[in-house]
Amino acid sequence: MLTKTDLDSANVDDNSADSFKKPKLVTNEVSAANRIKNKFNQEIKSSSEYKDKTLFVGNLPISVSKDKIKKHFKKYGAIDSLRIRGIAVADIKTSKKVAALKKEFHPDRNSVCAFIRFKESEDAKKAEAENGVLFYDHHLRVQFCESDAKPDESKAVFIGNLPFTAEDEELWDLFKICGPISHVRIVRDGRTGIGKGFGYVNFKDSDSVQFALERETFTLKDRELRVSLCEANRAKKQSVCISKYKIVYLHKMLLSIFVITLWRN
């Protein structure tokens, strides 16, 4: 790491052979440090500039080409770039880039995700309308990739005991009976692209959550799924229950005081 001492050591007698070499070494280090700093600053700038133009698109069919995806989204405006991500490879030793070129995908996975960057932020905003749209038999999940807005957990359920090879579309098919779905998200390993055994179903209204909780069982690939409230929603319901208990307790206490007062009189 470059320090102030290193920089000070550059200011030495030019008549020395050693002193002739050191400034060059330090200069190279300074240049390298500056290049890294400039690259980092450029990445931050790019991220800031493009975050309102870039959409995350999940549950894309793995068999659909980039050209077809672009054709579907370009009706909203000019597209600057499209990057496919979330590929599950057949062999963990194979890089995702090579697997994509050779089309050597995991046999139990049929979806990927993508980042689509529009030239104009207004066009990206319009393209959000594709969330939940059926695209080659897959319901898309579309949102800004750096959105500050958190999903409404009062309209979501947590799904546990999922098969590791479960697909988003399978959860859509299972839970659509409970009500209109906003989006589905299965949490996957970033390295392998295989599921971690849990995910979330976000509905368009909170009544659907209650319906999902009251159903006896949901089974996927011979596994009985565990359906429960999300943490924030559970805490909210517990708070409501405690408040109701306090009201009932207070009512009973006041009634007892009233009865005792009448009896004494």
CATH for 117: 3.30.70.330
State how far the Cα of 8 lies from the Cα of 11, in Å rounded to an integer: 6
Within a domain: 100: yes
58 in the same domain as 115:
yes
Domains: count for the chain? 2
Q: What are 120-150's pLDDT values in tens digits?
A: 999 999 999 999 999 999 999 999 986 555 6
162 in the same domain as 135:
no
125 in the same domain as 175:
no
Fill in the amino acid letter for 135.
F
**pLDDT at position 46:** 52
Q: 3-state class of 47 per DSSP?
A: helix
Give pLDDT < 70 ranges for the chain: 1-49, 146-151, 232-253, 255-256, 258-259, 262, 264-265
Within a domain: 10: no
138 in the same domain as 66:
yes
Among 147, 171, 200, the domain-final residue is 147
246 is in which domain, residue-wise? Answer: 150-256
Q: 3-state class of 170 per DSSP?
A: helix
**pLDDT at position 6:** 45
**pLDDT at position 258:** 61
Fill in the amino acid letter for 138.
H
158 in the same domain as 71:
no
134 in the same domain as 70:
yes
131 in the same domain as 155:
no
209 in the same domain as 111:
no
181 in the same domain as 241:
yes
Q: What are 75-108's pLDDT values in tens digits?
A: 999 999 999 999 998 888 888 888 888 888 899 8
Among 81, 116, 147, the domain-final residue is 147
State how far the Cα of 257 lies from the Cα of 226, in Å rounded to an integer: 46
Among 91, 122, 147, the domain-final residue is 147
Within a domain: 29: no
Q: 3-state class of 207 per DSSP?
A: helix
116 in the same domain as 65:
yes
Give the neighbor-by-neighbor strand order of the sheet with 156-160: 181-188, 195-203, 156-160, 226-229
104 in the same domain as 55:
yes
Let me know how long the chain is. Answer: 265
155 in the same domain as 122:
no
State how far the Cα of 74 lies from the Cα of 66, in Å rounded to an integer: 12
**pLDDT at position 191:** 86
